[in-house]
Amino acid sequence: MAEKHAVVIGSGFAGLSAATHLAAKGFRVTIVEKNESPGGRARKFEHQGFVFDMGPSWYWMPDVFEKYFATFGKKPSDYYELIRLDPSYSVIYGEGDVLDIPANLDEFKTMLEGIETGAAAQLDKFLEQAAYKYQVGIHDLVTKPSRSVFEFTSPGLLKDMLRMDIFQSMAKHVRKFFKSDKIIRLMEFPVLFLGETAENIPALYSLMNYADIALGTWYPKKGMHEIIRGMVSLAEEKGVKILYNSEVEEIEIKEGKAKAVRLISGKKIEADVVIAGADYHHVDKHLVNPNYSNYSEEYWDKRVLAPSSLLFYLGIDKRLVNLRHHNLFFDEPLGPHADAIYKNPRWPEKPLFYASVPSLTDRSVAPKGMENLFLLIPLAPDLEDTEELREKYYHIIMVRLEKITGQEIRSHVVFKRSYAHQDFKNDYHAYKGNAYGLANTLTQTAILKPSLKNKKVSNLYYTGQLTVPGPGVPPSLISGQVVANEVIKEIY
């Protein structure tokens, strides 16, 4: 059989995963990447000895990465060194009110018991259910292409799904086990990665708590971009060709089939199959002829997006104290802030925020005696984004950061870069400036997500955080594999 040529748009986790799986099965694969370096939202940049991961900073679900590399006879350690963080992260409820989350499960249970009598035993019950959901969810459900309801109708799977609490909210589920507000907020935190409040996320996703508590929080030495570097190395070993600074202007379609990808430069790349790892909405509305769009603009406008973010990359000319590698600032109530993130198109008055100091773990990402500080404020998508607003919110969170940690920081900032909605649009064509894709609500799960295949074009597929299985780094790795399997099944 003649060698088939697959063109993959985008070199993020999903695009690299799809490309490598196809190359390993005999496809000739070309990745076209808009930016000058690989990784999509997981790119990095450097400035005078500071090395910044631009996006993802949490390494959860290590088994997903192990499974990915094992598919090709490799291990993560072939490409990067993992460090388990202990404490896993720190949760700041207010001045002098901080929980350092221990990596050791027994120590974690002791900590919870000190907050609420009986919480340790309740955690065992909670984790027993979460472990089951993790095994079924991550190793079965998320690997389904979700193109037909019949994928989920086997008696065994239906029974599993009933046990997975898909019709109960995470908020109600957590409150069945714990009464302390402090523990409840801690247990609800992981679903923030899924783009909605615990009231609107199915209890299925307590599997995230299993990933957090049982499997641990890790850090790849030299930064998250080392994963991308390893994936690129593996892809190229399999024969994948990556073209950088190669933005796509159009997917040329004739008689219901994608024939070629035309770049803004004018270059045309012929293809037997096209996989779009770029922003789904951008591809659907701007890269294909409107006659071949999968969805209307009204459909897209009704999707519940996960938050966007305001990010700050800071170089600090001294060592910082009273901070961990990961720090969650819950010193303000979540209620009104949740509305600002997910519902109302406005900037919050008192934002929650996250601070990461990877240089506390890894001295290679900052000059000697200095720190690498990454700050993130989750925000609603499609907000007005101006330098004045960015600067206002920089000072809002820095005042709180300095007060709670008891140190002056702003006067020691020697490098500062911000990144928000407009940057997500410019760099990734992100719909409404989203940072994380679609929220994993019940009505946006599995077959209710945008389809991984174009309904009108026989050889055009989609991968990444706006399709199955959803947002996050491990799901993106899986998304690439799922779409590659569909291509292999249908094209060969």
Residue for token pair 């109960």: 168
CB 226 within 8 A of CB 261: no
Distance of CA 44 to the CA centre of its chain: 15
Distance of CA 309 to the CA centre of its chain: 12
Tokens read off for 113: 């018991």
> Nearest to residue 324, comparing CAs of 371, 259, 393?
371
Helix, strand or coil, per DSSP, at residue 461: strand
SS3 content of the chain, % helix, strand, coil (to 5): 45, 20, 35
CB 485 within 8 A of CB 145: yes
Domains of the chain, earliest start first: 5-42+61-72+222-302+438-491 (3.50.50.60), 106-215 (1.10.405)
Residue for token pair 């803004």: 264
Residue for token pair 């990447």: 33
Rounded to whole angstroms, the Cα distance separating 130 from 133 reads 5
CB 473 within 8 A of CB 219: no
Residue for token pair 């086997």: 154
Backbone dihedral angles phi then psi of residue 250, each to the nearest 5 degrees:
-160, 145
CB 234 within 8 A of CB 157: no
* Pairing of β 82-84 and β 218-220: antiparallel
DSSP 338-368: HHHHHTSSS--SS--EEEE-GGGT-GGGS-T
Tokens read off for 152: 């989920």
Confidence (pLDDT) at 160: 64
Tokens read off for 270: 């012929």
Confidence (pLDDT) at 35: 98
Q: In sequence order, what are the residues at sequence separation of 6 or more whose Cβ sits closer than 8 angstroms to the Cβ of residue 237?
A: none
Helix, strand or coil, per DSSP, at residue 8: strand
Rounded to whole angstroms, the Cα distance separating 474 from 91 reads 23
The overall longest dimension of the chain from CA atoms, in Å, is 67
Within 10 angstroms of residue 77's Cβ, the number of other Cβ atoms is: 11
Kindly report, residue by residue over 33-42, the tens digit of the pLDDT. 999 999 999 9
Residue for token pair 């070629």: 260
Confidence (pLDDT) at 336: 45
| DSSP conformation class of 3 | P
Backbone dihedral angles phi then psi of residue 91, each to the nearest 5 degrees:
-115, 125
Confidence (pLDDT) at 305: 92
CB 156 within 8 A of CB 166: no
DSSP 166-225: TTSBHHHHHHTT---HHHHHHHHGGGGGGTS-TTSSBGGGGHHHHIIIII--EEETT-TH
Q: Which helix (H) or strand (E) holds 235?
A: helix 225-237
Residues of the chain short of pLDDT 70, as ranges, are 1, 148, 150-162, 334-344, 492
Helix, strand or coil, per DSSP, at residue 305: strand
CB 78 within 8 A of CB 390: no
